[in-house]
Structure 1
Amino acid sequence: MGAHRKGAVRAVTAVHPEPVAPTGPVAPAAPAAPAGRDGYFDVLRAVALVRVVAYHVFGWAWASLVFPSMGVMFGLAGTLMARSLRRPALTVVRGRVRRLLPPFWFWGFFVVTAMLVHGWMPGWRIVYWIVPLGDPPGSAWAEQAWDIVWYLRTYLWFVLLSPLLLRVFRLSPLVVLALSLVPVVLLTYGWQPPEGRLGSALTDLATFLFCWLLGFAHHDGVLARLRPLAVVLPSLAALAHGGWYALAHRSAYGGTYDLDDNPLAQAFWSAGFVTLLLYAGKWVPDRPSRSRLVAVFNARAVTVYLWHELALILAVPLIDRFWEVPAFAAYLPLESQWFLFAVGWLLIAGFVLACGWVEDVAARRKPTLLPGGRAARMGG
């Protein structure tokens, strides 16, 4: 990943049984995981989103080691994509794109308008604000807001490539899965990716390719059929290599061991971590989450991801105004980052209420103020 992102961010995410459609002359996939296991997925996605917001408030480098949110989100999305591809590929891809773009356009309207008001004038690359196949242009003034689009761009490319990737994966699942780490190794030690949008896109795709294909392996039952030792040992080896590379090459990445600054370390650490996480799902009771909060996180995952940086930006001047109220200045911890974290979440909740309905429209559901039934999935 390029040095233009932070946290989930340079790194912010994303199951329904359906009739099986033929996939060609490949071995048939194993039955999908039971629908009840959605609860495990939903909790993981909610934790990933919370970690994304926490990182952007506190800037903890160790957070990417404790819970590599982006790897987790790509792994979950890969599983859901493989499940959906039991239907015709064109229908699935069109549906995923339809669910992603309207929330992106709605959010982008406000971001682009604000940049135009502040003197920014785009060129032809403004088309990336319509379909984010590349990083959309933006002004330095609003970089904190639009910098997060890298995730949507990478997710969109994985969606478009998934029909082909799934066919190749099913030719020899374990071999293809192992080879999926080769591109990030080549980009690190061999071929230098070009500067700009193309290089960033290639690097991010290479970094999270393993996690996306791991989602395929989870859906097809490839992961569940392996013995624990055959999963744990390679996962620990990947974690060890990723952790070692992050610590040993800090000087090359700004003196930090933050995985989100280091594609190779991110790829291997996420590979080991997400493999263990998804493999552990086989022992999770097959029942959906009963948490209303988890349901809201999943039904509004795109909204939380897109609007969380704007919420954090707005929280700063809002807290500045609190200083003008003597009681607030005397009794509230206005200088604490935890207070910023709390205010940020209040504003995120406001954006979910005000803007989350766009996700319902994009998914062709009846718009609701606050979802509470079966959770929708990011891009699902």
Structure 2
Amino acid sequence: MALRALPGTMVTASGLVLPVEPDPAPAEPVTRKPGRDRYLDLLRAMALVRVVIYHNFSWTWLPLVFPSMGVMFALAGSLMARSLSRPAFGVIRSRLRRLLPPLWMFGAVVVPAMILDGWGPDYDGHPNWWWGHLAFWILPVSTPPFADHLGGFGGHLPATWAEQIVVPLWYLRAYLWFMVLSPLLLKAVRRTPWVTLVLPLVLSAVLNSGLVDQSGRIMETVTDFTTFGACWILGMAYHEGVFRRIPAYVAPSIAPLLLAVGFWWLQQAPVDQPRIGPDIEAVPLAQAIWSFGSVLLLLHLSPSWEKWPRRLERFNGVVSLLNSRAVTVYLWHALALVLTEPLIEPLWDNAFFYTHLRWLLTSQWFPLIVAVPLIVLALLLFGWVEDVAAKRRPRLFPYPRRPKGQRRK
């Protein structure tokens, strides 16, 4: 009589019954836990503060210490990968709804101000192009138009005030294209993560080899992708759990090498202002490599805080405020810095300030001190647009409050 194999066993030719190990279940992709990650919130807040400080002081070493643009793109990429668990079309539409209204509010103030100061169809000598390019203030697939030099409202503002305050708009243009490409990028990350990560850096090397003409609106968008695409994709890979599937020593071993290569390439680039030194934000390939290495290290060290550590609880209010008003702070901080000039200039004619506080008037910190209340004013006047865009109840100042009866520790 032949022996029958029971479930989980097998019968050999000699008649022995042996147990059989069950097939391992297929591994599922490891993704980030739902809910806010306070470490990522802290990085985003630090990136915003660093942008404001950099635009005030123009310290070229500051982007080396903390490459905030790479950090912001990486965090946005991680958040986008998380959102793409839903249908892609709905996610992109939702992101556009959150991105565009703050831009429209900014344009509703800036564009009429430029027109009042002398900007118009004849400014560039191409009236038809001028009207057509205004559409980029509605959908920034390319850089919205602006005036290089104006009258400064009778000399009260610098002639380049418009050029200075529209500097942040490039980020919105790049964010829009990254967002649209995210469904394809996420598929590529899941199939070939390392090839997808390296591809923008390779393209950046080709683009900055001197063999490619980088002029034109299309090349602006291509430059954005090659410079910060690796950071955006790295944020996606972080959310998809790629870091957990590699040995812990890989990221901290590769990151210093990338930083060294990025810094070396920066030193090889020509310097426009020898007294200031090389500026990494003027060398796209160096910025791409340095940002990638820095973000790789920051995400590797990520502690994934569901709650604040005790020592950082005191910063919860400021960090939460900056995260809930990130687009408003980023768009309006440059205008706040420009407006400090007409506010500080009359103080030189004041006898008390000129005699006793001349050190304050000449300090680079004074414009930043004056700009902070102006940024807060912008939050009060325009920040509620972010709530409306996100379909939340509008709030003038979303600073989190402690529950009643709870005291500060």
Check whether TM > 0.5.
yes
Match of 1:345 among 362, 372, 383: 372
Partner of 1:129: 137
Partner of 2:246: 226
Partner of 1:204: 224
Partner of 1:22: none
Q: Is the 8 A contact 1:128 1:135 kept in 2?
A: yes
Residues 69 and 318 (structure 1), Cα distance of their counterparts in 2 relative to 1, 3 Å cut: same
Task: Quote the offset at 1:331 in angstroms.
Answer: 4.3
Quick check: 101-110 or 365-374, which moved more?
365-374
Quick check: 96-105 or 328-337, which moved more?
328-337
Task: Quote the offset at 1:344 in angstroms.
Answer: 1.0
Residues 373 and 81 (structure 1), Cα distance of their counterparts in 2 relative to 1, 3 Å cut: farther
Q: Is residue 183 of structure 1 aligned with residue 208 of structure 2?
A: no
Counterpart secondary structure, 2:250? helix
Task: Quote the offset at 1:329 in angstroms.
Answer: 3.7
Partner of 1:294: 319
Task: Quote the offset at 1:49 in angstroms.
Answer: 0.8
Residue 317 of structure 1 aligns with an amino acid whose one-letter code is: P
Partner of 2:282: 261
1:86-125 counterparts in 2 under 5 A? 86-122=85-121, 123=130, 124-125=132-133
Partner of 1:354: 381
Partner of 2:31: 31
Match of 2:341 among 316, 339, 344: 316
Q: Is residue 192 of structure 1 aligned with residue 217 of structure 2?
A: no
Q: Is residue 54 of structure 1 aligned with residue 85 of structure 2?
A: no
Residue 271 of structure 1 aligns with an amino acid whose one-letter code is: F
* Identical-pair percentage: 48
Q: Which stretches in structure 2 are left out of the alignment for 5+ residues?
A: 1-26, 122-129, 150-161, 402-409
Partner of 1:24: none
Q: Is the 8 A contact 1:177 1:210 kept in 2?
A: yes
Quick check: 219-228 or 356-365, which moved more?
219-228
Quick check: 316-325 or 213-222, which moved more?
316-325
In 1, the alpha carbon distance for the partners of 2:193 and 2:89 equals 23
Match of 1:245 among 265, 276, 295: 265
Q: Is the 8 A contact 2:29 2:240 kept in 1?
A: yes
1:128-186 deviation per Cα after TM superposition (whole angstroms, max 9, x unaligned): 11111001111013100112211110011000110111111211112221233111011
Q: Is the 8 A contact 2:38 2:304 kept in 1?
A: no
Residues 310 and 52 (structure 1), Cα distance of their counterparts in 2 relative to 1, 3 Å cut: same
In 2, the alpha carbon distance for the partners of 1:196 and 1:372 equals 42
Q: Is the 8 A contact 1:311 1:347 kept in 2?
A: yes
Task: Quote the offset at 1:249 in angstroms.
Answer: 1.5
Task: Quote the offset at 1:373 in angstroms.
Answer: 4.5
Residues 323 and 190 (structure 1), Cα distance of their counterparts in 2 relative to 1, 3 Å cut: closer
In 1, the alpha carbon distance for the partners of 2:28 and 2:235 equals 16
In 2, the alpha carbon distance for the partners of 1:81 and 1:248 equals 35
Residue 308 of structure 1 aligns with an amino acid whose one-letter code is: H
1:59-97 deviation per Cα after TM superposition (whole angstroms, max 9, x unaligned): 100011001110000000000000000011011100111
Task: Quote the offset at 1:101 in angstroms.
Answer: 0.5
In 1, the alpha carbon distance for the partners of 2:355 and 2:112 equals 38
Larger RCO (CA under 8 A, 6+ residues apart): 1
